[in-house]
Amino acid sequence: MTTEPSGSADLPGTFAYTWDLVGDPAAAERTASLGVGAVVLQAAYHSVRAMTPHHPVHRTVHATHAAAYFPLDPHQWRGSRLRPSSPSWAVDTPDRFGTAASALRSQGLRVEAWLVLTHSTAAGERAPDLTVCNAFDERYGYALCPAQPEVRAYATQLVRSFCERYDAVEVPALMLEACGWLGFEHGSHHEKTAGADLSRGCRDLLSVCLCAACRTGIEAAGADPTAVARTVRRTVDAEMREGVRAPGTLAESLGERAAEALLRHRQSVIESLTRQIAAVAPGREILLMADADPQTTGPDSGLDLGGFGGRATAFVLKCWGDENRAVTLLKEAVRDSTRPVIANVSVLDEHPDELAGRVARLRAAGAQTIRYYHAGLASPARLRALRAANAREAVRAMTEATTPTAEGAA
């Protein structure tokens, strides 16, 4: 029996990969049984090796490069140096997103498209001059720089191609990951960076992009990019070679004026990119994975949430790790943001038995709703914890709905 999907973004949801669903007739029903109302489904994603503990056929999937999980029209990409690849490990079902989304909708679940924009080693290798370049003129091949017009055009075309294939009734929301700069932090092949004991400040300095486009943007924002590069090199080398720890903030390392110019440049580019994307995605909600610290680079774009002038229906804030810190950061984000904040909660943390309490605290702190990461990767015990957290939230919501307010009681 087919059930009409819910149109409400306020319902809890979970992340899922297409390979969690395609080829598993029970997957969509199992997902619905978790008590979620929405699924953030992989539409364009970076390389990954993932467990698929619930799939009847395979136990792992190794996606060796970034790929789009929906059919692409080659004519739309003619002449473009940057273009998404197809998943060579999944040729049996050309429209994997559409197949998985149809199964989810048949269970009454709302489908949100999960689109990773600037994280692609495959694209970076084809156009290394469009990747993030640190102050030592070293390229991060996995990280496309959004200050580059070609990169923004690539991200926009990726979204346009998706929206032309699936209408806004089928997929009412787009979850945007890596809608900004990826920085130094990245799990590369056989990663060998931990032994350098780099501080957070040093890693942030190594994440400053000084490609030609960023140098132009930083200069236009009021700072000298050559001086910024010189300061970054000096401070990073002092830590790595002499053990002098880099300051914790960009303002302390670069000076207030240069740091503010750098962050203005970043915010402006991300705002511009979200506006371009919204223009080719009419009628869709834009759920932006964000970090309330403008200094942050990575899959969650570092932003001044209160001053954000781009397009976003809601911000999706990662609430992983230390619970007290996560709750504090979410409270601050809710206070400062002019948009709703959705809490991205991991069911893969060490203590799944504490998930329900964490979710309750985040909701009490102002989270509009929850997106759980990640139903396809979770063990049976973690899925039970997710189900229990949602059951507790359902009881809370029902209680709130039936409890009269003071004004109503009067």
Q: Which domains does the chain have, with CATH numbers?
A: 13-194+280-403 (3.20.20.80)
For the segment 212-255, what is each residue's pLDDT rounded down to a tens digit? 999 999 999 999 999 999 999 999 999 999 999 999 999 999 99
Backbone phi, then psi, for 125, in 5-degree steps?
-70, -30
Distances (CA, A) of 216 to 183, 209, 295: 19, 11, 19
**DSSP type of residue 203:** H
Backbone phi, then psi, for 277, in 5-degree steps?
-65, -45
Averaged pLDDT score across all residues of the chain: 94
| Number of other CB atoms surrounding residue 410 within 10 Å | 6
**DSSP type of residue 210:** -
Distances (CA, A) of 235 to 245, 271, 314: 8, 30, 36
Angle between helices 323-336 and 355-364 (to 10 degrees): 20
**Residue 96, Cβ density class (10 Å: 0-12 exposed, 13-18 middle, ≥19 buried):** buried
Tell me the β-bridge partners of 63. Answer: 48
Task: Taking the CA atoms of 316, 124, 296 and 312 in sequence, report the sign of the dihedral they define.
Answer: negative
Q: What is the pLDDT of residue 350?
A: 81
Q: What is the pLDDT of residue 393?
A: 87
**Residue 90: band (very low, low, confident or very high) from pLDDT cuts 50, 70, 90:** confident
**Residue 2: band (very low, low, confident or very high) from pLDDT cuts 50, 70, 90:** very low
Are 305 and 334 a contacting pair, CB within 8 Å? Answer: no
Look up residue 304 and give its amino acid.
D
Q: What is the pLDDT of residue 6?
A: 47
Distances (CA, A) of 321 to 275, 347, 350, 375, 392: 32, 11, 9, 18, 21
For the segment 298-347, what is each residue's pLDDT rounded down to a tens digit? 999 999 999 999 999 999 999 999 999 999 999 999 999 999 999 999 99
Measured distance CA(290)–CA(300) in Å, rounded: 4
pTM of the model: 0.94
For the segment 250-299, what is each residue's pLDDT rounded down to a tens digit? 999 999 999 999 999 999 999 999 999 999 999 999 999 999 999 999 99
Report the SS3 class of residue 341: strand
Which two tokens mark 349? 């943390």
| Number of other CB atoms surrounding residue 255 within 10 Å | 15
